[in-house]
Chains A and B, each alone.
Chain A
Amino acid sequence: DAGVIQSPRHEVTEMGQEVTLRCKPISGHNSLFWYRQTMMRGLELLIYFNNNVPIDDSGMPEDRFSAKMPNASFSTLKIQPSEPRDSAVYFCASSFFEPGKREKTYNEQFFGPGTRLTVL
Chain B
Amino acid sequence: AQKITQTQPGMFVQEKEAVTLDCTYDTSDPSYGLFWYKQPSSGEMIFLIYQGSYDQQNATEGRYSLNFQKARKSANLVISASQLGDSAMYFCAMRERSSGSRLTFGEGTQLTVNP
Residues of A within 8 A of B (CB): 31, 33, 42-43, 45, 48, 50, 55-56, 89, 91, 93, 95, 97, 99, 101-111, 113-114, 116
Contacts and interface: CB of A to CB of B under 8 A. Distances in A.
24 contacts: A33-B103, A42-B105, A42-B107, A42-B108, A43-B108, A45-B102, A45-B104, A48-B101, A50-B100, A89-B43, A91-B45, A93-B45, A101-B97, A102-B31, A103-B31, A103-B53, A103-B54, A106-B33, A107-B101, A108-B47, A108-B50, A111-B37, A111-B44, A111-B45
Contacts of B52: 103-106
Interface string B8-47: 0000000000000000000000011101010000011111
Interface residues of B, number: 27
Contacts of A97: 100-101
Contact of A114 (B44, B91, B107): B44
A113 B100 contact: no
A114 to B, nearest CB: 5
Interface of B: 31-33, 35, 37, 43-47, 50, 52-55, 91, 95-97, 100-105, 107-108
Main secondary structure of the interface of A (DSSP, over half): strand
Contacts of A50: 100-101
Contact of A110 (B47, B53, B95): B47
A114 B45 CA distance: 9
Nearest to B101: A97
Contacts of B53: 103
Given A106-B33, A113-B43, A56 B102 contact: yes
Contacts of B96: 103
Contacts of A55: 100-102
A59 B31 CA distance: 23
Contacts of A102: 31, 54, 97
A116 B44 CA distance: 11
Contacts of B50: 106, 108
A43 B31 contact: no
Contacts of B35: 106, 108-109
Given A55-B100, A102-B97, A104-B52, A109 B47 contact: yes
